[in-house]
């Protein structure tokens, strides 16, 4: 499973916490989720592709009631400018994902099939931007590794209902000191390795570990996409109306 929130996946933000060797793989995943920061965030990122293009996005995130709300807007280049996304990630009720398409000047609610498509033409799928339901997977440890000088546990997550999923399984490489998700291997429905998401660079900003550079490699198509954080601010003042359908349609 690839631990993520809409803005959290793009930024892969995971706060530090203690780790107990007695923990089950599910408990390790749960602790990583529990340590995700709930603070407000604003960021400007660059999404680039080995195909030769790049996009600039502005992202805002805030907890509103029982949901982690996220607003994403493309600011360049011109051909995709003003494409917008609005996500609500909830604990006890269904998530929502909406997209504004400037070409037709209308917003759509993202359906299950759309989630399996490329995000803005990149190697990230739309489904890679939202957190899956924790109880929808079975977990097991499948080894140890070391990345960026950090000792990691490898956790394999297999969906209980494969027909509803994009991937047949994922293997997360989790730093057991700060709970950074340093790498996630994602396998297709045939069980073959499809993509690898890797944290290339991490920095602690305002006490929060932040992935400043995240790469997604499609090993079957031999293409890569990379997210670079150009600017980020935590604990900013964000009005609730940023995360509204009216804002999406403006």
Collapsing DSSP states into helix, strand and coil, what is residue 90?
A: strand
pLDDT in tens, 5-17: 434 444 443 333 3
Which pTM does this prediction carry?
0.86
By CB atoms closer than 10 A (0-12, 13-18, 19+), residue 52 is exposed
Q: Which two tokens stand for residue 111?
A: 């359906």
Q: What is the pLDDT of residue 92?
A: 66
Strands (E), 32-122: 41-49, 54-64, 67-76, 84-90, 96-101, 106-109
Of 3 and 99, more confident: 99
Query: What's the structural domain count of the chain?
Result: 1
Instruction: Give per-residue pLDDT as tens, 96-132.
Output: 889 999 999 899 888 766 777 899 999 999 888 776 6
In a domain, 155, yes or no: yes
Q: What pLDDT does residue 71 have?
A: 96
**Cα 2 from Cα 82, distance rounded (Å):** 28
Number of Cβ within a 10 Å radius of residue 88: 20
Q: Is residue 1 part of a domain?
A: no
More reliable by pLDDT, 96 or 152? 152
Residue numbers of the domain that contains 217: 6-249
* pLDDT tens-digit map of 34-93: 767 779 999 999 999 999 999 999 999 999 988 889 999 999 999 999 999 999 988 667
pLDDT at 1: 40
What is the distance between the alpha carbons of residues 11 and 45, in angstroms, rounded to a whole number? 9
The CATH number of the domain where 167 resides is what?
Answer: 2.50.20.10
By three-state DSSP, how is residue 224 classified? strand
- Which residue reads 């009216």 in tokens? 246
Task: Write down the pLDDT at residue 22.
Answer: 64
The answer to whether residue 229 sits within a structural domain is yes
pLDDT of 228 over the 70 cut: yes
Q: What is the pLDDT of residues 164-192, one digit of tens each?
A: 788 999 999 999 888 888 999 999 999 99
Compare 163 and 187 and report the one with higher pLDDT: 187
Please tell me the least confidently modeled range out of 1-15, 23-37, 105-119, 235-249. 1-15
The end-to-end CA distance of the chain, in Å, is 35
Task: Report which DSSP code applies to 111.
Answer: P
- pLDDT at residue 179, as a whole number: 86
Q: Determine the Cα–Cα distance for residues 63 and 181; give it in Å rounded to an integer.
A: 22
Range with lowest mean pLDDT among 29-33, 78-82, 168-172, 238-242 = 29-33
The reported pLDDT for the residue numbered 35 is 67
Asked if residues 120 and 83 have their Cβ atoms less than 8 Å apart, the reply is: yes
């Amino acid at each position: 499973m690839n631990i993520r929130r809409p803005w959290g996946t793009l930024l892969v933000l995971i706060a530090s916490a203690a780790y107990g060797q007695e923990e089950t793989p599910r408990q390790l995943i749960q602790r990583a989720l529990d340590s995700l920061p709930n603070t407000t965030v604003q960021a400007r990122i660059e999404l680039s592709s080995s195909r030769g293009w790049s996009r600039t996005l502005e992202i805002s995130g805030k907890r509103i009631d029982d949901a982690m709300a996220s607003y994403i807007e493309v600011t360049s280049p011109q051909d995709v400018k003003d494409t917008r996304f609005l996500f609500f990630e909830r604990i006890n009720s269904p998530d929502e994902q909406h997209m504004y398409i400037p070409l037709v000047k209308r917003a759509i609610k993202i359906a299950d099939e759309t989630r399996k498509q490329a995000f803005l033409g990149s190697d990230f799928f739309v489904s890679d931007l939202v957190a899956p339901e924790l109880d929808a997977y079975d977990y097991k440890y499948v080894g140890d590794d070391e990345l960026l000088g950090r000792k990691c546990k490898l956790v394999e997550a297999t969906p209980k209902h494969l027909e509803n999923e994009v991937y047949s399984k994922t293997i997360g490489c989790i730093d057991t000191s700060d709970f950074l998700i340093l790498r996630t291997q994602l396998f297709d429905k045939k069980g073959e390795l499809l993509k690898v998401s890797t944290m290339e660079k991490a920095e602690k900003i305002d006490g929060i570990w932040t992935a400043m550079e995240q790469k997604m490699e499609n090993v079957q198509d031999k293409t890569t996409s990379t997210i670079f954080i150009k600017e980020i601010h935590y604990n900013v003042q964000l009005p609730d109306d940023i995360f509204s359908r009216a804002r999406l349609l403006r």
